[in-house]
Amino acid sequence: MLDWIAEISAVRELIQSAAILPQWDLQLRRQANLERAHHSTAIEGNPLSAQEVAGLQEGKEIPARERDKREVLNYLEALRLLDRWSGEGEAPGRDPGDQEDSPAYSLETIYRLHAALTAGLLPSGEQGALRREVVAVVDPAGRIVFQAPPPADVPALLRDLVAWLEGPSRLLHPVLAAGLAHYELVRIHPFADGNGRTARLLATLILNLRGFDTRRFFVLEEYYNRNLAAYYAALAGADRTGELGGWLEYFAEGVAVSLRRVREAIAHLSLDNRLREAKGQVYLDERQMELLRRLGESRRLRIAEVQALFGVSRETANRILDPLLEHGLVVRRGLARATYYELAEVR
């Protein structure tokens, strides 16, 4: 877990300090919201593809079941709530016009997220309202594999969760606090439906408000959806043993994997900017573009590493490098056997 946290912190610093033009910033954030809506609803069985979700995001009419479309549109609306709460300073749990001070986390925060997610999907009396029924998950053999707390215990458990978020959780790394909150909300299972989606949004909100994902680029939901069995196994393992280390290790790994993808996307955008800033027109083949991307990730490469990357001779590796050196995109450092190549600074 500590290894994941160390990697997360290092990659986060690279992302936070990356110089991204405003239109790219918005593009990445919009893409992240699209992927969150697609993957989080897909986890619950929604069949819409990423392309169909993109169409709904753009206001297009999609030939699909109304319920499936409503789930996605609701998730996009809930993400807009998160954007407002995270980016414009609006206090969660308050209407935009309400000027009263409010804690960053409140019961109303959780209720509003759930109400946004379930609008038109649950009866009005169950949207943003606590369940009144006993909930249990039974396997095919009839064995209970998950037993949610009794309905009478849910209000107090939620109050405890909110109090913990406002107090003790602030002593923890944001990733651990978000992971614990995600698990605890799923365990409490406060609503008749939509608990998983609400828990995933709450974890995202915690990361945002704790200043961890200020650009709001990364998508944890994709990590879960790529291997649903691992996601449910990590949650079930914590339920079965009462030990949360395995779940937190899984959660931290998900954050690290998601941040790596963001780093790669930003590296590509930074490469685009580097080419735009280069003097004159630059025509590069696929190997030269790939080499620039690798240098953006690795910082420096030796000629032997360039040879290994493309499976070519030293002479061919030098020919790949020559146009990059000529146009000032790459610089040669060191002497003789200590020679290496790195991206040039664009001024």
Distance separating alpha carbons of residues 76 and 83, to the nearest angstrom: 10
Of 57, 154, 150, 152, nearest to 110 by C-alpha is 154
CA 247, 252, 253, 259 torsion: positive or negative? positive
Q: What integer pLDDT is reported at residue 271 of this predicted model?
A: 62
The two three-digit tokens of residue 26, written as one number: 């918005």
Is the pLDDT assigned to residue 307 strictly greater than 70? Answer: yes
Please give the helix or strand (H or E) that residue 259 lies within, else none.
helix 245-277
pTM of the model: 0.73
Instruction: Kindly compute the dihedral angle of the four CA atoms of residues 221, 222, 225, 231, in this order, to the nearest 10 degrees.
Output: -60
In the chain, what are the domains?
A: 2-266 (1.10.3290.10), 280-343 (1.10.10.10)
Q: Could you report the per-residue pLDDT of 162-210, keeping only the tens digit for each? A: 999 998 998 999 999 999 999 999 999 999 999 999 999 999 999 888 8
Q: Three-class SS of residue 238?
A: helix
> Average pLDDT of 332-337?
86
The conformation of residue 48, written as its DSSP 8-state character, comes to: -
Report in angstroms the alpha-carbon separations of 195 from 41, 87, 148, 271, 275: 12, 25, 11, 41, 46
